[in-house]
Structure formats: structure tokens, C-alpha cells
């Protein structure tokens, strides 16, 4: 799969600030399967001390966390929305982020770029990180 270059993205110092400042993370596409990257990242972020809200169409819990079916179901403040879905799905996720009105960062994982959705989110005042793994960025910027 060819991944386009992000036209909208945060830089390393901004990403470090996000990871230090914010603690409530919704993970869209979190999986109950321990072999999947989304499960590994969810576990890592929980173990790193973040409040994680998995979003998945099935299951009641993932890694001991209550599972939500959508971003709209989460009744707590969400700081960062991390996306483990195909790039085309990011448009609807960006719309949901904007509709909530309380999300600070829309973050798409490696090989997930949707510049139109990113620009829409940025225009609505939401910071954007594209094509980067939150776990790797945490390891590189916070743990070092």
C-alpha cells in the first residue's frame, strides 16, 4: 500500500507536548487480539499511565477497559483520538472529533494519511498527527 505524504502534521516538539499534557486517549479500531498492533499500542498506552477508551464494534472490554462503539458514546473528556482504520474512514472520524468539540488531537497511526480529513480537523481547531505511531513517539520523545 502506498501512503501519501501528510500535508498537515505536527512536529516533534508539538507531539512531545501533546504526550506530556494530555492523558485521555480514545483508540478507534482497538482490537481484542493481542497479535494486532492496535492491541499492543492500547496496552502500551495503558501501561504508560494514560486513560484509554477503546472503540471497537464488538466486545465489552479490551485489556480491562470498557469498550465503546463510537466516539460519541464516551462520556468523559477525550484529549487525543488515535486511529487504527483505513484512510477513507478518517473522514467520518474527523467529523465525529469535530462534533464532540472537546478533542485536542486527531492522530492517525503509521501508513494512515487522509489530508482532506486532516485539513478539515485543523480548520476546526484540532491539532493533527498523521502517519506516526503514538507508542513509538512516546518511546522516542518521553522515555529518552
User: 106 and 97 in contact (C-beta within 8 Å)?
Assistant: yes
Summarised one tens digit per residue, pLDDT across range 29-85 is 999 999 999 999 999 999 999 999 999 999 999 999 999 999 999 999 999 999 999
Question: How open is the CA angle 34-88-74, to the nearest 5 degrees?
Answer: 60
Q: Which domains does the chain have, with CATH numbers?
A: 12-141 (3.40.50.720)
Tally of residues, the chain: 144
- pLDDT of 5 reads 78
**Mean pLDDT (whole number) for 134-142:** 96
- pLDDT of 3 reads 64
Neighbours of 88 (CB within 10 A): 9
User: 55 and 82 in contact (C-beta within 8 Å)?
Assistant: no
Decide: residue 104, CB within 10 A, 0-12 exposed, 13-18 middle, 19+ buried: middle
Amino acid at each position: 500500500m502506498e501512503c501519501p505524504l501528510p500535508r498537515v502534521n505536527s512536529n516533534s516538539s508539538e507531539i512531545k507536548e501533546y504526550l506530556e499534557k494530555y492523558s485521555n486517549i480514545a483508540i478507534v479500531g482497538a482490537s481484542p487480539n493481542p497479535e494486532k498492533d492496535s492491541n499492543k499500542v492500547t496496552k502500551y498506552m495503558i501501561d504508560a499511565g494514560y486513560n484509554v477508551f477503546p472503540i471497537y464494534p464488538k466486545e465489552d472490554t479490551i485489556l480491562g477497559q470498557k469498550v465503546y462503539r463510537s466516539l460519541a458514546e464516551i462520556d468523559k473528556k477525550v484529549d487525543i483520538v488515535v486511529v487504527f482504520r483505513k484512510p477513507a474512514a478518517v473522514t467520518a472520524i474527523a467529523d465525529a472529533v469535530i462534533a464532540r468539540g472537546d478533542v485536542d488531537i486527531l492522530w492517525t497511526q503509521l501508513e494512515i494519511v487522509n489530508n482532506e480529513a486532516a485539513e478539515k480537523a485543523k480548520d476546526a481547531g484540532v491539532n493533527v498527527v498523521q502517519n506516526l505511531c503514538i507508542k513509538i513517539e512516546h518511546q522516542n520523545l518521553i522515555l529518552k
